[in-house]
Amino acid sequence: MAALRAAKQALRKEIKRRVAALSDQEKLRQSHVVSQKLFKHPKYAGCERIAVFLSMHDEVRTEEIIRDVFKQGKTCFIPKYQTNSSHMDMLKLTSLQDMEMLPLTSWNIRQPADDDNTREEALATGGLDLILMPGLGFDRSGKRLGRGKGFYDTYLERCIRHPRGKPYTIALAFKEQLCPEIPVDDNDVLIDEILYEDQE
């Protein structure tokens, strides 16, 4: 376990360095390419209930995707992370204005406030069709390197127990986040597909 943890830490550092070297313009350009790939994806076209992460500075930008989700009349859910545990909920977002009103966390991402109890949680109602996954690194076989907190792995375990079953998972990545091989353990849930620029 210690060796795996060390390998993951070293890889996180390396990927962060690669992504930090990208200009904002390049990040936006790749984000746009990845968003367009997603819009043409049959799983996106066919989904009704979708969970989208609100991007941090080192992740594929998701604003364009969230705009499209509302334009297409899909139901949008966003993560609410609990900072002191690995627990995460996917809470319903009602509009773009709703998103702009959300408070900023210490990670500089917007999420519903702790005392915001009015929002529907995806698994409490109809489950999810599709989850767009963030991550630090990915390999082509669907292995994902997260930030080490286990939010998404824990949430996917809950999805698997939901009557609707596990949603399809698509990771959004800069090509600099692709690695030959990500070290994983048994708790790491594989991703169905990774979208990035230049893939065949």
Residue 26 φ then ψ, to 5°:
-65, -40
pLDDT tens digits, residue range 168-182?
999 999 999 999 999
The answer to whether the annotation marks 150 as part of a ligand binding site is yes
Instruction: CATH number of the domain at 149, please.
Output: 3.40.50.10420
Say whether 151 counts as a known binding-site residue. Answer: yes
The whole domain housing 133 covers 2-195
Whether 110 has a binding-site annotation, put simply, is no
Known binding residue 142? Answer is no
**Based on the structure, what is the number of domains in the chain?**
1
pLDDT, mean of residues 89-115? 89
Residue 132 lies in a domain: yes
**Is 200 domain-assigned?**
no
> How much is the pLDDT for 199?
60
DSSP string, 85-98: SS-EEEEEE--HHH
Residue 169, in any domain of the structure: yes
28 part of a folded domain: yes
Tell whether the torsion through CA atoms of 160, 146, 48 and 78 is positive or negative: positive
Q: Is 54 annotated as a binding residue?
A: yes
* Ligand-binding site membership of 49 (annotated): no
Burial class, 175, CB count within 10 angstroms (exposed 0-12 / middle 13-18 / buried 19+):
middle
The answer to whether 70 is a known ligand-binding residue is: no
Q: What is the mean pLDDT of residues 112-138?
A: 92
Percent share of the chain, pLDDT over 70? 99
Instruction: Name the nearest CA neighbour of 62 among 200, 195, 178, 198.
Output: 195
* pLDDT tens figures, 51-93: 999 998 899 999 999 999 999 999 999 999 887 888 999 999 9
